Amino acid sequence: MATINLDTTHDTICAISTPPGIGGIAVIRISGDKAIPIADNIFTSIHPGKTLQNQPANKALFGSIHDQDNIIDEVIAIPFRAPHSFTGEDTVEISCHGSLYIQQHIISQLIQQGCRMAEAGEFTRRAFASGRIDLSQAEAVADLIAANTAAAHRLAMNQMRGKFSQRLSMLRNDLLEFVSLIELELDFSEEDVEFADRTRLQNLADNIANELQHLADSFAIGNAIKNGIPTTIVGETNAGKSTLLNLLVHDEKALVSDIHGTTRDVIEDVIIIGGVEFKVIDTAGLRDTHDTIETMGIERTFDKLKQSNIVIWLIDSTDNPDKITDMAQRIIPLCADKHLIAVFNKADLLDTEQTERLTATYNTLPISAEAPLFISAKYNTGIDQLTQRLVAIARTSAGGSGDVIVTNIRHYEALKNALDAIQRVQQGLTTTLSADFIAQDIRECMHYLGEITGEITTNEILGSIFSRFCIGK
């Protein structure tokens, strides 16, 4: 892991902020106390007498970058003045042509004028240090850059706008009020006074515990949306699982044949439906077999099923009801905490009476999933209904665009630690534990909440977080 310079001295930094390589344009950022005069040293406006120093903030200025008497490129430069910039410092952004030579030559000129190359994540770290954003918002910047779906983008934007931080701040303020009253009691312990209403504190502890539990529980779906929702296709051999996978990913990823046991290992691919990323997994067909390799594949099927958020149980419509019931006994118990979608394949072979009979069989199963879907993977019918069901599950799980969803493992761990602390407060209040111990647990809960937003942090934590950023951000 790269070492991050956490020195608070604000020397002026520069970096290329656009992706490496050749492009139409490139953006070079400069930030620090001397950002504007340094940029002026190599920039000449096409308007005589105009400089970046006398240019109004946030106003673009057209001109050229020069190396002594030689013009390197014609550029657009925009000055941003502290504190109204991303970093909270004076900042200049230079848009030039995307030639590698031009980019490196401009950077070289800036370094000669007194700039230093920025470290990974240093612009965002300076925004955090200046109070422009808190630590969870800084981490959301990296998530926003990495977002490749609408859902992941929405979660990152919500966090970057401070919705998560605001909720945590309210919890900390409520706890701070009570811990202050409890510690005031300790100062007057000889006088046997009670400043903190224990009933009110119990209610507060209960509410905070519920809130923290809700946030911690949201990590499962938040992490899935951020990294792709694991979706496993299971069922008997020759039910059409591989055909369905190929349809969903629009590619011939899996071999398809009428031979039982063709798929012996898991096959994975990624699809984006309705702005949500799904990691779709085709698995070995479930059946009793003495084939060693096929048995290993079936074991992997159950492993993937356990790891999935969504399970598509693909059923061969031509199977007899007893066979479907037997398979249900193997699959349903493993899907208690998952979203199960029952799909009858080969619907092209069914008439109305047969469809009704299969539906009736399904309704007798001990299952809480929605009504089954009828599709024909061979003829690509009913697939739209399946994809709509997948998107609906993802959106329902996410609780709507306005809800706070935890996507960061660091936040999840801190929330679990905070939850443990507040549960000790609950227990202490129930058992009339000494006030000083209750106060200690409240402060510990506040500590972990503060770690998320950066109100309480260490150089090691900051170094770890910002080292994952790209140069120029």
* pLDDT at residue 362, as a whole number: 84
Distance (Å, whole) CA 308 – CA 339: 9
Closest CA to 404 of 230, 219, 277: 219
Write out the CATH class of domain 13-134.
alpha beta
Query: Is 159:219 a contact under the CB 8 Å cutoff?
Result: no
pLDDT at 465 over 80: no
CATH number of 228-376: 3.40.50.300
For 9, phi then psi, to 5°, come to -65, 135
A 10 A CB-CB count for 59 gives: 10
Q: Which residues contact 425 (CB under 8 A, 6 or more apart)?
A: 201, 205, 438, 441, 442, 445
A 10 A CB-CB count for 444 gives: 17
* pLDDT at residue 192, as a whole number: 54
CA atoms within 13 A on the CB side of 97: 10
Element (H, E) at 76: strand 70-80
* pLDDT at residue 323, as a whole number: 80
3-state SS, residue 401? coil
- Residue range(s) occupied by CATH 3.40.50.300 in the chain: 228-376
Q: How many residues does the chain have?
A: 473
C-alpha separations of 356 from 317, 371, 373 in Å: 11, 12, 12
Distance (Å, whole) CA 235 – CA 330: 10
Output DSSP code: residue 91: E
Q: In this structure, is the dihedral angle defined by the CA atoms of residues 399, 404, 409 and 415, taken in order, positive or negative?
A: negative
A 10 A CB-CB count for 252 gives: 10
pLDDT at 186 over 80: no
Closest CA to 387 of 377, 398, 379: 377
Query: 38-52, 279-293, 312-326, 351-365: which has the highest mean pLDDT?
Result: 38-52
- Residue range(s) occupied by CATH 3.30.1360.120 in the chain: 13-134
* pLDDT at residue 93, as a whole number: 96
Q: Write out pLDDT tens, residues 277-330.
A: 888 887 766 655 555 555 566 666 667 777 788 888 888 888 777 788 888 888
Tokens for 328, please give them.
Answer: 């249900």
Distance (Å, whole) CA 370 – CA 411: 33
Q: How, if at all, do strands 276-282 and 229-234 pair?
A: parallel
Distance (Å, whole) CA 158 – CA 156: 5
In the β-sheet with 43-45, what is the strand arrangement from edge to edge? Answer: 43-45, 61-67, 70-80, 91-98, 23-31, 13-16, 116-117
Closest CA to 345 of 355, 353, 336, 360: 355
Lowest mean pLDDT among 67-76, 130-139, 297-306, 420-429: 297-306
CA atoms within 13 A on the CB side of 128: 28
